[in-house]
Chains A and B, each alone.
Chain A
Amino acid sequence: MKQILFRAMGCQMQAIVDAHTSDAEEALQNVPVWFEIWEQCLSRFRPTSELSRLNAQAGRWVGVSQTVWAVLQAALETAEQSGGLVIPTVWSAMQAIGYTRPFDQMIGDVEVRMNEALSEEPANGRAGWRAIRLDAANRSVWLPPNTQLDLGGIAKGWCADQAARRLSVYGPALVDAGGDIAVVPGAGRSTAFPIGIAAPSGEDTTTESLIGIVMLTEGGIATSGRDYRRWRLGNGWAHHIIDPRTGKPADTDVLIATAIAATATRAEAIAKTALILGSRAGLEWVAAQGDSGALTVSEGRTVACTSNFPLQDVVAPATRSVSEGHTRPSLPMHRTHA
Protein backbone atom coordinates (compact mmCIF):
# COMPACT_ATOMS: atom_id res chain seq x y z
CA MET A 1 0.00 0.00 0.00
CA LYS A 2 1.00 3.58 -0.63
CA GLN A 3 0.32 6.25 1.94
CA ILE A 4 0.65 9.97 2.44
CA LEU A 5 0.36 11.93 5.67
CA PHE A 6 -0.22 15.67 5.87
CA ARG A 7 -2.04 18.37 7.82
CA ALA A 8 -5.01 20.29 6.55
CA MET A 9 -8.11 21.94 8.02
CA GLY A 10 -6.37 21.96 11.40
CA CYS A 11 -6.15 18.16 11.49
CA GLN A 12 -3.87 15.29 10.69
CA MET A 13 -4.80 13.73 7.37
CA GLN A 14 -3.93 10.45 5.73
CA ALA A 15 -4.60 8.86 2.36
CA ILE A 16 -3.90 5.25 1.42
CA VAL A 17 -4.17 3.44 -1.88
CA ASP A 18 -3.87 -0.32 -2.05
CA ALA A 19 -1.77 -0.29 -5.20
CA HIS A 20 1.87 -0.44 -6.14
CA THR A 21 1.96 1.66 -9.28
CA SER A 22 3.78 4.91 -9.79
CA ASP A 23 0.47 6.45 -10.91
CA ALA A 24 -1.04 5.67 -7.53
CA GLU A 25 1.90 7.24 -5.77
CA GLU A 26 1.66 10.32 -7.94
CA ALA A 27 -2.06 10.59 -7.26
CA LEU A 28 -1.41 10.49 -3.54
CA GLN A 29 0.87 13.50 -3.88
CA ASN A 30 -2.14 15.43 -5.19
CA VAL A 31 -4.30 14.77 -2.13
CA PRO A 32 -2.87 17.63 -0.03
CA VAL A 33 -3.44 19.93 -2.99
CA TRP A 34 -7.08 18.87 -3.24
CA PHE A 35 -7.57 19.55 0.47
CA GLU A 36 -5.96 22.96 0.18
CA ILE A 37 -8.31 23.87 -2.64
CA TRP A 38 -11.31 22.67 -0.64
CA GLU A 39 -10.13 24.58 2.40
CA GLN A 40 -9.90 27.73 0.33
CA CYS A 41 -13.55 27.20 -0.48
CA LEU A 42 -14.95 25.97 2.81
CA SER A 43 -12.95 27.42 5.70
CA ARG A 44 -14.74 29.85 7.98
CA PHE A 45 -11.40 30.83 9.48
CA ARG A 46 -9.85 32.24 6.31
CA PRO A 47 -11.12 35.76 5.55
CA THR A 48 -10.44 35.19 1.86
CA SER A 49 -12.22 31.86 1.60
CA GLU A 50 -15.24 31.57 -0.61
CA LEU A 51 -17.36 30.75 2.43
CA SER A 52 -16.20 33.88 4.27
CA ARG A 53 -17.03 36.01 1.25
CA LEU A 54 -20.46 34.38 1.03
CA ASN A 55 -21.03 35.01 4.75
CA ALA A 56 -20.16 38.66 4.26
CA GLN A 57 -22.94 39.03 1.70
CA ALA A 58 -25.93 37.75 3.63
CA GLY A 59 -29.13 39.16 2.21
CA ARG A 60 -27.84 39.09 -1.37
CA TRP A 61 -27.73 36.44 -4.08
CA VAL A 62 -24.19 35.16 -4.50
CA GLY A 63 -22.84 32.78 -7.13
CA VAL A 64 -20.79 29.95 -5.65
CA SER A 65 -18.40 27.25 -6.83
CA GLN A 66 -19.38 23.64 -7.36
CA THR A 67 -17.61 22.76 -4.13
CA VAL A 68 -19.53 25.20 -1.97
CA TRP A 69 -22.74 24.31 -3.78
CA ALA A 70 -22.26 20.58 -3.21
CA VAL A 71 -21.27 20.89 0.44
CA LEU A 72 -24.07 23.33 1.20
CA GLN A 73 -26.60 20.98 -0.36
CA ALA A 74 -25.21 18.12 1.70
CA ALA A 75 -25.36 20.33 4.80
CA LEU A 76 -29.01 21.23 4.21
CA GLU A 77 -29.88 17.60 3.63
CA THR A 78 -28.12 16.75 6.89
CA ALA A 79 -30.07 19.45 8.69
CA GLU A 80 -33.32 17.98 7.45
CA GLN A 81 -32.38 14.38 8.25
CA SER A 82 -31.12 15.26 11.73
CA GLY A 83 -34.30 17.08 12.60
CA GLY A 84 -32.46 20.38 12.77
CA LEU A 85 -29.70 19.19 15.12
CA VAL A 86 -26.76 19.34 12.74
CA ILE A 87 -27.15 22.57 10.86
CA PRO A 88 -24.88 24.85 8.84
CA THR A 89 -25.96 28.11 10.49
CA VAL A 90 -24.04 27.82 13.76
CA TRP A 91 -21.40 30.36 12.79
CA SER A 92 -22.65 32.94 15.29
CA ALA A 93 -22.84 30.38 18.06
CA MET A 94 -19.24 29.39 17.37
CA GLN A 95 -18.18 33.01 17.58
CA ALA A 96 -20.08 33.39 20.84
CA ILE A 97 -18.24 30.53 22.53
CA GLY A 98 -14.88 31.78 21.36
CA TYR A 99 -14.19 29.25 18.62
CA THR A 100 -13.01 31.96 16.27
CA ARG A 101 -9.83 30.41 14.94
CA PRO A 102 -8.49 26.94 14.15
CA PHE A 103 -8.29 24.83 17.25
CA ASP A 104 -4.60 24.12 16.91
CA GLN A 105 -4.09 27.85 17.28
CA MET A 106 -6.26 27.92 20.37
CA ILE A 107 -4.24 25.28 22.19
CA GLY A 108 -2.25 26.91 24.92
CA ASP A 109 -4.86 29.54 25.72
CA VAL A 110 -5.79 29.05 29.33
CA GLU A 111 -9.06 30.79 28.86
CA VAL A 112 -10.99 32.09 25.91
CA ARG A 113 -12.89 35.22 26.54
CA MET A 114 -16.53 34.99 25.61
CA ASN A 115 -17.74 37.43 23.02
CA GLU A 116 -20.44 39.02 25.13
CA ALA A 117 -21.89 41.02 22.31
CA LEU A 118 -22.64 37.96 20.21
CA SER A 119 -23.81 35.97 23.20
CA GLU A 120 -26.85 38.24 23.42
CA GLU A 121 -27.91 37.45 19.89
CA PRO A 122 -30.25 34.53 19.10
CA ALA A 123 -27.22 32.65 17.87
CA ASN A 124 -28.63 29.19 17.40
CA GLY A 125 -29.54 29.68 13.77
CA ARG A 126 -32.06 26.94 14.17
CA ALA A 127 -34.76 28.49 12.04
CA GLY A 128 -32.34 30.32 9.80
CA TRP A 129 -31.21 27.31 7.79
CA ARG A 130 -34.68 26.70 6.42
CA ALA A 131 -34.73 30.23 5.07
CA ILE A 132 -31.63 29.72 2.92
CA ARG A 133 -32.52 29.89 -0.73
CA LEU A 134 -30.82 28.12 -3.60
CA ASP A 135 -30.96 28.86 -7.32
CA ALA A 136 -29.76 25.71 -9.06
CA ALA A 137 -29.89 27.22 -12.55
CA ASN A 138 -27.38 29.88 -11.59
CA ARG A 139 -25.75 27.99 -8.75
CA SER A 140 -26.45 30.90 -6.45
CA VAL A 141 -27.16 31.13 -2.75
CA TRP A 142 -29.17 33.63 -0.72
CA LEU A 143 -28.47 33.74 3.00
CA PRO A 144 -30.99 35.44 5.28
CA PRO A 145 -29.72 38.67 6.85
CA ASN A 146 -27.53 38.13 9.90
CA THR A 147 -27.07 34.47 8.97
CA GLN A 148 -23.64 33.02 8.38
CA LEU A 149 -22.62 29.50 7.52
CA ASP A 150 -20.26 27.08 9.21
CA LEU A 151 -19.87 23.94 7.12
CA GLY A 152 -17.52 22.25 9.57
CA GLY A 153 -20.20 19.77 10.56
CA ILE A 154 -19.74 17.71 7.42
CA ALA A 155 -16.93 19.32 5.44
CA LYS A 156 -14.18 16.89 6.38
CA GLY A 157 -16.36 13.88 5.69
CA TRP A 158 -17.35 15.33 2.33
CA CYS A 159 -13.71 15.97 1.42
CA ALA A 160 -12.73 12.46 2.47
CA ASP A 161 -15.45 11.02 0.24
CA GLN A 162 -14.34 13.09 -2.74
CA ALA A 163 -10.66 12.29 -2.33
CA ALA A 164 -11.31 8.58 -1.89
CA ARG A 165 -13.43 8.49 -5.00
CA ARG A 166 -10.69 10.19 -7.00
CA LEU A 167 -8.10 7.72 -5.72
CA SER A 168 -10.29 4.69 -6.46
CA VAL A 169 -9.17 4.80 -10.08
CA TYR A 170 -5.87 3.34 -8.90
CA GLY A 171 -7.13 0.84 -6.37
CA PRO A 172 -9.00 0.47 -3.10
CA ALA A 173 -8.50 3.65 -1.14
CA LEU A 174 -8.88 5.09 2.33
CA VAL A 175 -8.85 8.77 3.15
CA ASP A 176 -8.72 9.85 6.76
CA ALA A 177 -9.66 13.49 7.24
CA GLY A 178 -8.94 14.10 10.88
CA GLY A 179 -10.67 10.91 11.99
CA ASP A 180 -13.53 11.08 9.49
CA ILE A 181 -12.70 8.25 7.14
CA ALA A 182 -13.91 7.21 3.70
CA VAL A 183 -13.15 3.81 2.21
CA VAL A 184 -13.85 2.79 -1.36
CA PRO A 185 -13.10 -0.20 -3.55
CA GLY A 186 -11.18 0.48 -6.72
CA ALA A 187 -9.71 -0.98 -9.88
CA GLY A 188 -12.01 -3.97 -9.60
CA ARG A 189 -10.84 -4.85 -6.09
CA SER A 190 -11.79 -4.17 -2.53
CA THR A 191 -9.66 -4.15 0.57
CA ALA A 192 -10.84 -4.62 4.12
CA PHE A 193 -9.04 -1.83 5.91
CA PRO A 194 -8.71 -2.33 9.67
CA ILE A 195 -9.74 0.93 11.31
CA GLY A 196 -9.31 1.57 14.98
CA ILE A 197 -11.82 3.44 17.07
CA ALA A 198 -10.10 5.67 19.55
CA ALA A 199 -11.24 5.88 23.13
CA PRO A 200 -11.94 9.36 24.44
CA SER A 201 -8.88 11.47 24.92
CA GLY A 202 -7.64 11.71 28.48
CA GLU A 203 -5.42 14.20 30.20
CA ASP A 204 -2.39 12.66 28.56
CA THR A 205 -2.91 13.34 24.89
CA THR A 206 0.35 11.70 23.86
CA THR A 207 -1.05 8.20 24.15
CA GLU A 208 -4.16 6.73 22.62
CA SER A 209 -6.28 3.75 23.49
CA LEU A 210 -8.37 1.84 21.01
CA ILE A 211 -11.83 0.58 21.85
CA GLY A 212 -11.67 -1.90 19.01
CA ILE A 213 -11.29 -2.44 15.31
CA VAL A 214 -13.72 -2.15 12.41
CA MET A 215 -12.99 -3.83 9.09
CA LEU A 216 -14.26 -1.56 6.35
CA THR A 217 -14.27 -2.32 2.63
CA GLU A 218 -16.64 0.43 1.58
CA GLY A 219 -18.34 3.30 3.38
CA GLY A 220 -17.55 5.92 5.92
CA ILE A 221 -16.74 6.05 9.60
CA ALA A 222 -16.60 9.24 11.61
CA THR A 223 -16.18 10.21 15.23
CA SER A 224 -17.52 13.29 16.90
CA GLY A 225 -16.42 14.17 20.38
CA ARG A 226 -16.17 16.74 23.11
CA ASP A 227 -13.15 15.03 24.64
CA TYR A 228 -10.41 16.92 22.85
CA ARG A 229 -11.70 20.13 21.28
CA ARG A 230 -12.71 21.80 24.47
CA TRP A 231 -11.51 24.85 26.35
CA ARG A 232 -12.12 26.82 29.48
CA LEU A 233 -14.86 29.39 29.13
CA GLY A 234 -15.78 31.35 32.18
CA ASN A 235 -16.22 28.95 35.07
CA GLY A 236 -16.81 25.92 32.92
CA TRP A 237 -15.83 24.13 29.78
CA ALA A 238 -16.94 24.75 26.24
CA HIS A 239 -16.66 22.42 23.28
CA HIS A 240 -17.34 22.78 19.59
CA ILE A 241 -20.51 20.70 19.09
CA ILE A 242 -23.35 23.21 19.19
CA ASP A 243 -26.86 22.14 20.11
CA PRO A 244 -29.07 24.35 17.95
CA ARG A 245 -31.90 23.97 20.46
CA THR A 246 -29.92 26.06 22.93
CA GLY A 247 -27.32 27.73 20.79
CA LYS A 248 -24.68 26.48 23.18
CA PRO A 249 -22.30 23.50 23.37
CA ALA A 250 -24.38 20.35 23.63
CA ASP A 251 -25.19 19.27 27.15
CA THR A 252 -24.74 15.54 26.71
CA ASP A 253 -23.42 12.51 28.54
CA VAL A 254 -21.59 11.38 25.41
CA LEU A 255 -17.85 11.92 25.25
CA ILE A 256 -17.45 10.50 21.76
CA ALA A 257 -19.82 9.07 19.19
CA THR A 258 -18.59 7.00 16.26
CA ALA A 259 -20.85 6.23 13.32
CA ILE A 260 -20.63 4.03 10.27
CA ALA A 261 -22.64 4.77 7.14
CA ALA A 262 -22.50 4.52 3.37
CA THR A 263 -20.37 7.67 3.15
CA ALA A 264 -18.11 9.62 5.45
CA THR A 265 -20.41 12.64 5.01
CA ARG A 266 -23.36 10.70 6.31
CA ALA A 267 -21.29 9.11 9.09
CA GLU A 268 -20.13 12.51 10.28
CA ALA A 269 -23.69 13.77 10.45
CA ILE A 270 -24.87 10.66 12.28
CA ALA A 271 -22.08 10.87 14.82
CA LYS A 272 -22.81 14.50 15.64
CA THR A 273 -26.52 13.87 15.97
CA ALA A 274 -25.94 10.96 18.30
CA LEU A 275 -23.61 13.03 20.46
CA ILE A 276 -26.06 15.91 20.73
CA LEU A 277 -28.97 13.64 21.61
CA GLY A 278 -27.11 11.72 24.30
CA SER A 279 -26.21 8.06 24.49
CA ARG A 280 -29.66 6.55 24.92
CA ALA A 281 -31.73 8.81 22.68
CA GLY A 282 -28.88 9.08 20.21
CA LEU A 283 -28.46 5.37 19.69
CA GLU A 284 -32.20 4.88 19.45
CA TRP A 285 -32.34 7.60 16.83
CA VAL A 286 -29.50 5.99 14.86
CA ALA A 287 -31.16 2.59 15.03
CA ALA A 288 -34.34 4.13 13.66
CA GLN A 289 -32.51 5.56 10.65
CA GLY A 290 -31.90 2.09 9.25
CA ASP A 291 -28.85 3.03 7.21
CA SER A 292 -26.12 3.39 9.80
CA GLY A 293 -24.70 2.19 13.06
CA ALA A 294 -23.15 4.02 15.96
CA LEU A 295 -21.16 3.57 19.12
CA THR A 296 -20.96 5.97 22.04
CA VAL A 297 -18.65 6.31 24.99
CA SER A 298 -20.20 8.22 27.83
CA GLU A 299 -18.93 9.77 31.00
CA GLY A 300 -17.75 6.97 33.22
CA ARG A 301 -16.35 5.30 30.08
CA THR A 302 -19.56 3.37 29.43
CA VAL A 303 -19.59 1.95 25.92
CA ALA A 304 -22.83 1.34 24.06
CA CYS A 305 -23.65 0.78 20.43
CA THR A 306 -26.41 -0.15 18.04
CA SER A 307 -26.84 -3.85 17.43
CA ASN A 308 -25.47 -3.57 13.90
CA PHE A 309 -22.23 -1.82 14.78
CA PRO A 310 -19.47 -4.09 13.48
CA LEU A 311 -16.95 -3.58 16.21
CA GLN A 312 -14.35 -6.28 16.40
CA ASP A 313 -12.40 -6.67 19.55
CA VAL A 314 -10.44 -9.73 18.65
CA VAL A 315 -8.59 -9.81 21.93
CA ALA A 316 -11.75 -10.34 23.93
CA PRO A 317 -15.21 -10.87 22.48
CA ALA A 318 -17.72 -8.32 23.64
CA THR A 319 -20.36 -9.39 26.08
CA ARG A 320 -23.57 -8.18 24.60
CA SER A 321 -27.17 -7.98 25.62
CA VAL A 322 -29.92 -6.60 23.46
CA SER A 323 -31.95 -3.91 25.07
CA GLU A 324 -34.47 -1.76 23.27
CA GLY A 325 -32.74 -1.72 19.95
CA HIS A 326 -29.19 -1.22 21.09
CA THR A 327 -26.62 -3.31 22.86
CA ARG A 328 -24.25 -2.53 25.64
CA PRO A 329 -20.97 -4.28 25.02
CA SER A 330 -18.59 -4.72 27.85
CA LEU A 331 -15.21 -3.91 26.43
CA PRO A 332 -11.87 -3.61 28.08
CA MET A 333 -9.83 -0.52 27.37
CA HIS A 334 -6.65 -1.39 25.54
CA ARG A 335 -3.78 0.96 26.03
CA THR A 336 -1.57 1.17 23.00
CA HIS A 337 1.02 3.72 22.09
CA ALA A 338 0.40 5.70 18.93
Chain B
Amino acid sequence: MTNAKQKAHSGRDDQLAHANALKLLIGSASVALTLAGWAVLSNQQLTPESAVAAVERSAAQDLSTSQPASVPTLAPVYVPDGISTDTTTGQGGAGDAPAQGAPEAAPRSELRVVTAPPRAVAVSRSSR
Protein backbone atom coordinates (compact mmCIF):
# COMPACT_ATOMS: atom_id res chain seq x y z
CA MET B 1 0.00 0.00 0.00
CA THR B 2 2.78 2.40 0.93
CA ASN B 3 4.53 2.06 -2.42
CA ALA B 4 1.29 2.58 -4.26
CA LYS B 5 0.59 5.72 -2.31
CA GLN B 6 4.01 7.09 -3.00
CA LYS B 7 3.85 6.30 -6.68
CA ALA B 8 0.37 7.73 -6.96
CA HIS B 9 1.61 10.91 -5.43
CA SER B 10 3.99 11.61 -8.26
CA GLY B 11 2.11 14.61 -9.52
CA ARG B 12 -0.61 12.84 -11.53
CA ASP B 13 -4.33 13.08 -11.02
CA ASP B 14 -5.37 11.34 -7.78
CA GLN B 15 -8.64 10.15 -9.20
CA LEU B 16 -7.04 8.37 -12.15
CA ALA B 17 -4.49 6.69 -9.87
CA HIS B 18 -7.25 5.48 -7.57
CA ALA B 19 -9.22 4.08 -10.47
CA ASN B 20 -6.23 2.12 -11.70
CA ALA B 21 -5.57 0.70 -8.25
CA LEU B 22 -9.22 -0.31 -7.97
CA LYS B 23 -9.12 -2.11 -11.32
CA LEU B 24 -6.03 -4.08 -10.27
CA LEU B 25 -7.58 -4.92 -6.92
CA ILE B 26 -10.77 -6.31 -8.47
CA GLY B 27 -8.77 -8.31 -11.00
CA SER B 28 -6.47 -9.80 -8.40
CA ALA B 29 -9.37 -10.52 -6.09
CA SER B 30 -11.06 -12.51 -8.83
CA VAL B 31 -7.91 -14.57 -9.28
CA ALA B 32 -7.55 -15.02 -5.55
CA LEU B 33 -11.12 -16.24 -5.26
CA THR B 34 -10.41 -18.88 -7.87
CA LEU B 35 -7.23 -19.90 -6.09
CA ALA B 36 -9.09 -20.13 -2.84
CA GLY B 37 -11.54 -22.55 -4.46
CA TRP B 38 -13.07 -25.43 -2.61
CA ALA B 39 -11.61 -28.91 -3.17
CA VAL B 40 -13.06 -32.22 -2.06
CA LEU B 41 -14.51 -31.59 1.37
CA SER B 42 -12.91 -34.57 3.00
CA ASN B 43 -9.44 -33.60 1.87
CA GLN B 44 -9.38 -29.87 2.21
CA GLN B 45 -11.45 -27.90 4.61
CA LEU B 46 -11.48 -24.30 3.57
CA THR B 47 -13.09 -22.15 6.18
CA PRO B 48 -14.80 -18.95 5.15
CA GLU B 49 -12.33 -17.04 7.28
CA SER B 50 -9.34 -18.43 5.42
CA ALA B 51 -11.03 -17.88 2.09
CA VAL B 52 -11.71 -14.23 2.84
CA ALA B 53 -8.23 -13.84 4.30
CA ALA B 54 -6.69 -15.31 1.15
CA VAL B 55 -8.55 -12.77 -0.95
CA GLU B 56 -7.46 -9.88 1.24
CA ARG B 57 -3.82 -11.00 1.35
CA SER B 58 -3.65 -11.46 -2.40
CA ALA B 59 -5.30 -8.13 -3.06
CA ALA B 60 -2.92 -6.32 -0.73
CA GLN B 61 0.12 -7.92 -2.33
CA ASP B 62 -0.98 -7.09 -5.84
CA LEU B 63 -1.84 -3.52 -4.96
CA SER B 64 1.59 -2.91 -3.40
CA THR B 65 3.34 -3.91 -6.61
CA SER B 66 0.98 -2.19 -9.00
CA GLN B 67 2.33 0.22 -11.58
CA PRO B 68 0.03 3.21 -11.80
CA ALA B 69 -0.74 4.23 -15.31
CA SER B 70 -3.05 6.62 -16.98
CA VAL B 71 -6.48 5.00 -17.23
CA PRO B 72 -9.96 6.29 -17.86
CA THR B 73 -12.04 7.10 -14.83
CA LEU B 74 -14.04 4.07 -13.76
CA ALA B 75 -17.68 4.18 -12.87
CA PRO B 76 -18.39 4.07 -9.14
CA VAL B 77 -18.26 0.61 -7.65
CA TYR B 78 -20.94 -0.56 -5.27
CA VAL B 79 -19.59 -0.36 -1.75
CA PRO B 80 -21.71 -1.99 0.95
CA ASP B 81 -21.97 -0.48 4.37
CA GLY B 82 -19.31 -1.53 6.81
CA ILE B 83 -16.83 -2.78 4.25
CA SER B 84 -14.26 -0.23 3.23
CA THR B 85 -10.57 0.13 2.79
CA ASP B 86 -9.19 3.59 3.04
CA THR B 87 -6.57 3.97 0.34
CA THR B 88 -6.20 7.70 0.47
CA THR B 89 -3.10 8.73 -1.37
CA GLY B 90 -2.00 11.31 1.12
CA GLN B 91 -0.34 14.54 0.16
CA GLY B 92 3.27 13.63 0.53
CA GLY B 93 5.60 13.43 3.47
CA ALA B 94 5.85 15.90 6.26
CA GLY B 95 7.40 19.11 5.17
CA ASP B 96 6.34 18.85 1.55
CA ALA B 97 4.69 21.94 0.17
CA PRO B 98 3.27 22.79 -3.22
CA ALA B 99 5.77 24.40 -5.52
CA GLN B 100 5.35 28.08 -5.86
CA GLY B 101 2.77 28.85 -8.54
CA ALA B 102 1.59 25.25 -8.74
CA PRO B 103 -2.14 24.58 -8.40
CA GLU B 104 -3.36 23.61 -4.98
CA ALA B 105 -3.37 19.89 -4.28
CA ALA B 106 -6.69 18.23 -4.88
CA PRO B 107 -8.69 17.68 -1.73
CA ARG B 108 -8.04 14.38 -0.04
CA SER B 109 -10.54 11.85 -1.32
CA GLU B 110 -11.56 8.67 0.35
CA LEU B 111 -11.67 5.64 -1.88
CA ARG B 112 -13.52 2.66 -0.56
CA VAL B 113 -12.35 -0.51 -2.20
CA VAL B 114 -14.46 -3.60 -2.28
CA THR B 115 -13.82 -7.05 -3.62
CA ALA B 116 -16.35 -7.74 -6.32
CA PRO B 117 -18.16 -11.00 -5.62
CA PRO B 118 -17.80 -13.66 -8.27
CA ARG B 119 -20.83 -14.13 -10.45
CA ALA B 120 -22.48 -17.45 -9.74
CA VAL B 121 -22.64 -19.78 -12.73
CA ALA B 122 -25.23 -21.94 -10.98
CA VAL B 123 -27.48 -21.62 -7.97
CA SER B 124 -28.33 -24.30 -5.45
CA ARG B 125 -31.98 -23.88 -4.49
CA SER B 126 -34.88 -26.00 -3.46
CA SER B 127 -36.49 -27.65 -6.47
CA ARG B 128 -38.58 -25.33 -8.64
Residues of A near any B CB (own CB < 8 A): 1, 10-12, 14, 16, 103, 156, 174, 176, 178-181, 190, 192-198, 200-201, 205, 208, 210, 213-219, 221-229, 256, 258, 260-262, 291-293, 307-318, 320, 329, 332
Q: Is B120's CB within 8 Å of the partner chain A?
A: yes
- A-B interface pairs (CB < 8 A), number: 164
Contact A312 B122, CB 8 Å, known A219-B40, A262-B42: no
Question: For the complex, what is the distance from the CA of A314 to the CA of B120, rounded to whole Å?
Answer: 12
CA distance A213 to B42 in the complex (A): 19
Q: A228-B127, A308-B47, A311-B48 are in contact. Are A194 and B121 (CB under 8 A)?
A: yes
Quick check: A179 and B52 within 8 Å, CB to CB?
Answer: no
The answer to whether A194 touches B124 (Cβ under 8 A) is no
Q: Does B102 contact A (CB under 8 A)?
A: no
Chain B residue numbers with a CB within 8 Å of A1 are 121
Sampled A-B contacts (11; CB under 8 Å): A176-B124, A178-B128, A179-B124, A181-B124, A192-B36, A194-B118, A196-B122, A215-B118, A223-B125, A229-B126, A318-B48
Contacts of A218 in B (CB 8 A): 39-40
**When the two chains form the complex, which single residue of B39, B82, B115 contacts A314, counting CB atoms closer than 8 Å?**
B115
Closest 10 CB pairs of A and B: A192-B37, A225-B126, A196-B120, A198-B125, A194-B118, A215-B37, A179-B125, A196-B123, A314-B117, A176-B122
Give bound CA distance, A12 to B128, whole Å: 7
Chain B residue total in the interface (Cβ 8 A): 37
Q: When chains A and B are docked, how far (Å) is the Cα of A262 from the Cα of B80?
A: 34
Most buried by A among B48, B121, B125: B125
Complex Cα distance, B51 from A223, in Å, reads 22
Q: Closest chain A residue to B127 by CB distance?
A: A178
- Cβ A225 vs Cβ B125 within 8 A: yes
A228 contact from B45, B48, B49, B128, Cβ within 8 A: B128
B4 interface residue, CB < 8 Å from A?
Answer: no
Q: Are A213 and B117 in contact (CB under 8 A)?
A: yes
* In contact, B121 and A222 (Cβ under 8 angstroms): no
CA distance A213 to B124 in the complex (A): 10
